[in-house]
Structure 1
């Protein structure tokens, strides 16, 4: 009876070190490597290895990209015909992509833009 009870317990998910995930994901990116074989060699589910590969390609397994640099521009001079607080801009640059928002966007538009930046 004890053996059956142990079998019915759910197996806990393992938290693998980031370096381990990155190493296997890099190997999985190699076209000459079988992802299924690589997963089998390390006792992993193939889908997990595919997920890590997607995360690597999206930059989520890169430890150096945890914080992005922020540059604050000097206070812009008032533009003619624009009231106080009406002029402004936001620039977000990720790799080669650059998003510029000028003026005063409504919160819903800004939320859509920021959601689009998520990997």
Structure 2
């Protein structure tokens, strides 16, 4: 077994184009699809396809074309602080990436679980 490989040696390992990886990763995300069967159909290793799918989900593949959505900007209205937000000792603030979750006393545990699960990548 030869373990003395030079750094950057890609001999014998195919380097797939990004659009091929992206296309298969998107297809592997379809509910009900067998990732292993999809990999077999394209003569690639299933673990590689699972890796591409993870990379797609975290946004490592460049988008094919940027999607622009219409935005409607309304002037901000001044809001009076609610009685719950007036007492900082009854509030917990969780910052996860760009999301901020503020928890007030008496929050339903099932609702909290649902909100936190939706913040996972």
**Could you say which TM-score interval applies, normalised by the shorter chain?**
0.3 to 0.5
TM-score, normalisation: structure 1: 0.44
Q: TM-score, normalised by structure 2?
A: 0.44
Higher helix content, 1 or 2 = 1
